[in-house]
Amino acid sequence: MTDNNDGWDITTNLGATALAVAAQRAAETAQPNPLVRDEFAAILIDAVNEPGWQAMAKGDLAWMGPDDDVGRRTARAGRDYVAARTVFFDEFCAVATASGIRQVVILAAGLDARAYRLACLSGVEVFEIDQPAVQAFKDSTLRAHGATPTANVHPVAVDLRDARWPEMLAGAGWVESAPSAWLVEGLLPYLSSAEHDRLFGVVTGLSAPGSRLAAEVYHHSTRHFGDQRLGKWRDGAAGIGQALDIDVDVTAFIQHDDASDTASWLTQHGWAVESLDSRDEMTRLGRPVPPDLIEIAPASSLVTGVLPLP
């Protein structure tokens, strides 16, 4: 990955990864018994106005074609995964705000609409950090649609590899002396090991006692789930791209070095950490991964941390 942000917009480069998960949330919302309802996801996908993304956002998977049973079930497991992780981060927001936290920082917010859809964030200061082009697309689309956030939203348009992001966060009204809740969802695969450690180092340094953190950790590294899984993930994504005529490989941006283990890193730096296997969460939520897809479907560690009060 370079520091050059040229061409980083919503349908190309890393911006497209935000579109891909928003399409999954829209598809989940369109189902008869959704685990989560994100009505803003479909609005954002519609605004892109490309048939492939719109087909992905439908709940029916008809675009897979009638003969590709494994492809269809794999796509469904991928959608179930995104739904389960959305529930995990939603529940984290509820726990964090119930603990008294009044400022939430969403790192790599993408097209996350929690500030619009979660009642627990009502009146809470929510800082959304992402690349300028992604922020501009989300804000202008939701504004044009007349969407009203429940939270007090503060967009912070910056690359998280830019050392000035804490300064920009503070400039947007974030208060260092108050505890924060940090969300790290869908970001870590795109950071190198050094960038990972630097980011968590900065976040830890900025966190007042009582702060909380939730992270989705599906290391691309051999240590976690292995090269084989990554290869299968890439093949699956390529199949979906082909079926939908979407010409962007969202796995191309995944970093390959053997990234730090996030839970261990946080533990070593003072956080009280818990880690769940996403597959157990999916089972808990009634969306188990079919046994024959265990090696193909996405899987992660869903990590939470609390910085203890002195």
Ligand X SMILES: C[S@@+](CC[C@H](N)C(=O)[O-])C[C@H]1O[C@@H](n2cnc3c(N)ncnc32)[C@H](O)[C@@H]1O
CB of 228 to ligand X, least distance (A): 22
**C-alpha to C-alpha distance for 136 and 109, rounded to whole angstroms:** 12
Closer Cβ to ligand X, 182 or 190, answer by number: 190
CB of 159 to ligand X, least distance (A): 4
CA distances to 43, 44, 115, 131, 141 from 48, rounded to whole Å, are 9, 7, 21, 17, 10
Structure tokens at 98: 């119930």
What residues make contact with ligand X under the rule CB under 6 A?
14-15, 17-18, 21, 108-112, 130-131, 134, 159-161, 185-187, 190
**C-alpha to C-alpha distance for 230 and 276, rounded to whole angstroms:** 20
36-65 burial, b if ≥16 CB within 10 A, otherwise e?
bebebbbbbbebbeeebbbbbbbeebebbe
Angle, helices 39-48 vs 15-29, to 10°: value is 130
Residue nearest to ligand X (CB): 110
Structure tokens at 164: 């000035």
Closer Cβ to ligand X, 40 or 271, answer by number: 40
- Per 3-state DSSP, the chain is made up of helix, strand and coil in percentages (nearest 5) of 45, 15, 40
Closer Cβ to ligand X, 90 or 130, answer by number: 130
CB of 261 to ligand X, least distance (A): 20
CB of 291 to ligand X, least distance (A): 27
Closer Cβ to ligand X, 112 or 261, answer by number: 112
Closer Cβ to ligand X, 160 or 213, answer by number: 160
Residue whose C-alpha is closest to residue 111's, from 192, 203, 29: 29
Quote the radius of gyration of the chain (alpha carbons, Å): 18
CB of 110 to ligand X, least distance (A): 2
Closer Cβ to ligand X, 88 or 210, answer by number: 88
CB of 73 to ligand X, least distance (A): 22
